[in-house]
């Protein structure tokens, strides 16, 4: 299934994309795409619905594909060649940082360059959403705790992130810095999350073009690893890192500017498109 949320900010409803590309409302089936609605049992019930009998929805904005997220956990430097372009040492274990949930935005919403920014950057990433409580999970069982996969742009302000003392979080958490969606694709439709192409373009120029097969730490390992240090709850988002080609690694640097159009996608998970605007 391709699960989504549609409607204006503050008034979004749950839905799905059917096999004909039509958005269908799930408002009579679940309250929202959050919490227990992401549990495997709930998702299994939704798969049994006759989607042709669900109300069709037209002309609606797509919002973030889930809600009720308790935390966004990101994995840094998970592609060896991205670590090299950023001048970082390849880590022996995953580099973990958090991103504020207030950064979440829709898949086609504007990306807002924050005040004082000169180095706003893009990062196409495969993200996944937790479907049930996970703690001390084995790698062999890890994917049982994943509800599905989606596209995330882990936008970053490099000066805030790297040139001011402290943690990365302040360069990762500006408003609109976590566009999510367009939909959450349930894991049954993604048999191998480690074999998906992912790409990003700025004004039609291909900047990032890679595959999740190049990750150093795969999804199953990440779930197991994180669950050693924190409980993972339904709706938590884990973003798995970006491949090379970010603006910071270009010569000269290719940071985002107002008026530019950013397009990105992950194989089987849909595409995002954003206009870059100044705050």
User: Looking at the structure, do residues 224 and 193 belong to the same domain, yes or no?
Assistant: yes
Residue 14 sits in the same domain as residue 76: no
Asked if 53 and 113 sit in the same domain, the reply is: no
Average pLDDT of the chain is 96
Residue 205 lies in a domain: yes
Q: Are residues 17 and 134 in the same domain?
A: no
pLDDT value of residue 242: 96
Claim to verify: residue 20 and residue 97 sit in the same structural domain: no
Alpha carbon of 164 to those of 37, 160, 238, 277: distances in Å?
A: 40, 6, 25, 24
Q: In the chain, what's the furthest Cα-to-Cα distance?
A: 55
Give the lowest-confidence range in 102-106, 158-162, 248-252, 262-266.
158-162
Tens of pLDDT, residues 20-46: 999 999 999 999 999 999 999 999 999
Residue 253 domain boundaries = 72-278
Q: Are residues 49 and 88 in the same domain?
A: no
Q: What is the DSSP letter of 206?
A: E
Distance (Å, whole) CA 262 – CA 278: 14
3-class secondary structure, 24: strand
118 in a structural domain: yes
Give the residues across from 275 on adjacent strands.
261
Do 53 and 83 fall within a single domain? no
In the chain, how many domains are there?
A: 2
Please tell me the distance from the alpha carbon of residue 107 to that of residue 104, in angstroms, as a whole number: 10
In this structure, is residue 9 part of a structural domain?
A: yes
* 47, 79: one domain: no
We report the CATH number of the domain holding residue 155 as 3.90.850.10
Within a domain: 189: yes
**Residues 36 and 161 grouped into a single domain:** no
The answer to the question of residue 62 being in a domain is no
Q: Is the pLDDT of residue 166 over 90?
A: no
Give the pair of three-digit tokens for residue 204.
Answer: 């039609």
Residue 19: inside a domain, yes or no? yes
- Mean of pLDDT values over 172-189: 98
* CA R_g for the chain: 18
Give the Cα-Cα-Cα angle 96, 100, 102 (nearest 5 degrees): 155
- Same domain for 21 and 94, yes or no, is no
Establish if 143 belongs to a structural domain. yes
SS3 184: strand
Nearest to 194 by CA among 178, 211, 213, 181: 213
Give this prediction's pTM.
0.96
CA 211 to chain centre: 15
For residue 6, count CB atoms less than 10 angstroms from its CB and return exposed for 0-12, middle for 13-18, buried for 19 or more: buried
Residues 163 and 79 in one domain: yes
Calpha distance 109→33 (Å, rounded): 19
């Amino acid at each position: 299934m391709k699960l989504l949320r549609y409607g204006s900010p503050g008034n979004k409803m749950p839905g799905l994309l059917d096999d004909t590309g039509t958005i269908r409302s799930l408002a009579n089936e679940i309250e929202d795409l959050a919490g227990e609605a992401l549990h495997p049992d709930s998702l299994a019930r939704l798969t049994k619905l006759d989607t042709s009998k669900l109300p069709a929805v037209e002309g609606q904005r797509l919002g973030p594909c889930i809600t009720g997220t308790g935390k966004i956990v990101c994995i840094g430097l998970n592609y060896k060649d991205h670590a090299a372009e950023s001048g970082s040492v390849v880590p022996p274990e995953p580099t973990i940082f958090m991103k504020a949930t207030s950064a979440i935005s829709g898949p086609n919403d504007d990306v807002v360059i924050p005040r004082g920014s000169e180095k706003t950057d893009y990062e196409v990433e495969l993200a996944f959403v937790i479907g049930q409580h996970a703690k001390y999970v084995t790698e062999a069982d890890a994917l049982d705790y994943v509800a599905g996969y989606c596209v995330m742009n882990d936008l970053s302000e490099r000066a805030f992130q790297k040139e001011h003392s402290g943690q990365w979080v302040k360069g990762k958490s500006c408003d609109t810095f976590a566009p999510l969606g367009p939909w959450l694709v349930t894991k049954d439709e993604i048999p191998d999350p480690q074999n998906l192409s992912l790409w990003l373009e700025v004004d039609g120029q291909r900047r990032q073009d890679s595959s999740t097969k190049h990750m150093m730490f795969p999804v199953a390992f990440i779930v197991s690893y994180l669950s050693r240090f924190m409980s993972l709850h339904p709706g938590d988002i884990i973003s798995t890192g970006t491949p090379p080609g970010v603006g910071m690694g270009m010569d000269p640097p290719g940071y985002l500017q107002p008026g530019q159009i950013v397009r990105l996608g992950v194989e089987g998970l849909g595409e995002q498109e954003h206009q870059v605007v100044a705050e």
